[in-house]
Structure 1
């Protein structure tokens, strides 16, 4: 096991494109850390830099106390599981599991022992004599995991290992990987674009967009306190609802979304002065789908038109239009309104999230007043990365 340290790690391609911009964070010894973001955000590039499969343009990468910028992949004491299973079709499961060890000169007794240990851990004991063609997708992925497991590396790197599996198998393999990590206690870095995988597997999550770190934190801290609009709308299914408009003061602070459509604002005391400073200016307010609900018509309710009803079994999603904003709310799957109906929405005031529309940063008390006074970089800029990493 080993700690992994990234210090201003940067990847710039010959055409000038910045794949990863100044990534700085530590992966603790024994931690399962997830890199997540949309396609092209730099997560796989960052993983491949740790593996040694991509050259590092600048910055330092350490595994344990050793600087490994120029160390070949085979000498970094890491094992990597790829999106494709990459099994040898002519070899049995046992031969696939032990092939890497044989290449490294391990003796027959040692190879056999490690193969059987890995097979037992992954419940592959009864499949050791089968060829890959006789295995299901989930079994093949377990063999790919086992092939890395027998190496007993300091760090496991997993690059979207479940993306080729169907939904049921993905759920099962998530449990397998989490169990495996608890059992081994080995440092793992896991790349995915699937937020469900990220939220359920990661002890901490690094959220990336366009090569830059947006925020690093525990899954629920990211969900409950997103640092900016990108994180707020990327994590969560359905995504966070955003309402925007001008802050006015009438019977307290209100967000004027459209003519006759106003949302009362009730920031907590520590944030009230900051929101007060937006009177006469634009503000973005976020509410999760579970923090809004149907309510009787009233002066402090939001009128909305039902655009679509999505029953998904144990719950239903209402897609709504409200003053030019698209909203989704999560409801029990009975007594639902029909498409075209006008409904009224209540909300949980203490679950509101406030964002500056220009910088896209979360408003969080006194620090935000300073940001407005001195100017704040956009959400994709270095300022967000420094702030997000500094908060961890």
Structure 2
């Protein structure tokens, strides 16, 4: 059992040790229990990932499965950097399909073709929409997308983290730096709803998660 072995090291040494541990485990073919709060370590080292909250196991699965199909809001918020964006609203029927609606923000998002049958029983329920930063995508003006204001830009080399705001609600997006967004600029974005997550507002239990991403 390894309990956060690189916790006192700087970023570069942590990455090197993580790489060496990964190679060592593969070479020895021994089961290791690795305790960590570092998401990069958890996602890169684990064959099976166990997420715990206050001593209780929340989910056990392959790392990519936990990332793409979190069982509840806690797991969704805990795993992934930057953290998943959350928006409160309700499920409504719209033109034979299902939509996520948040009237205070003027948001109404179609959950996609083929969802009506699956979601008919949840129509009218209060839910939380979860969308990861990589699934917030800038689009060309005039496409009827969501208009949000750029509040802050954090450069990360070839990519950047962009804090967006709409009527007091903030969301984080991960853009290509070459897309050229600017501070205080109003831009249009769309949410890739095929990768969206829905959680029961009261219990936090996942109602739906998007399908696997390409290569997943």
TM class by smaller structure: 0.7 to 0.9
Aligned to 2:131: 287
Which residue in 2 is equivalent to 1:246? 90
Query: Which aligned pairs between 1:214-233 and structure 2 lie closer than 5 A?
Result: 214-233=58-77
TM-score by length of 1: 0.50
Indicate which of 180, 187, 192 corresponds to 2:24. Answer: 180
Runs of 5+ unmatched residues, structure 1? 1-156, 366-392
The Cα of 1:323 is off from its aligned counterpart by 4.3
Q: Are residues 1:255 and 2:75 paired?
A: no
The CA RMSD measured in Å over matched residues stands at 2.0
Matches of 2:202 and 2:48, distance apart in 1: 28
CA contact (8 A) 1:263 1:300 kept: no
Q: After the TM superposition, which residues 327-338 of structure 1 pair with which residues of structure 2 at under 5 Å, given as runs?
A: 327-338=171-182
Counterpart of 1:266 in structure 2 is: 111
Question: Any unmatched runs of 5+ in structure 2?
Answer: 210-216
Q: Is the 8 A contact 1:263 1:302 kept in 2?
A: no
Give the direction of change, closer, same or farther, for the CA distance of 1:228–1:324 in structure 2 (3 Å limit). Answer: farther
Greater strand proportion: 2
Between Structure 1 and Structure 2, which shows a larger proportion of helix residues? 1
| Alpha-carbon shift at residue 299 of structure 1 (Å) | 6.5
> Number of matched residues?
208
1:276 aligns to what? 120
The aligned counterpart of 2:11 is 167
**What is the rounded CA distance, in whole Å, between the counterparts of 1:179 and 1:222 in structure 2?**
23
Question: In structure 2, the residue corresponding to 1:334 is in which secondary structure?
Answer: helix
Answer with 352-361 or 335-344: which moved more. 335-344
Residue 249 and residue 331 in structure 1: after superposition, are their counterparts in 2 closer, same or farther (change >3 A)? same
Matched residue of 1:320: which SS? strand
Equivalent residue for 2:160?
A: 316
- CA distance in 2 between counterparts of 1:160 and 1:331 reads 31
Report how far residue 298 of structure 1 moved: 4.5
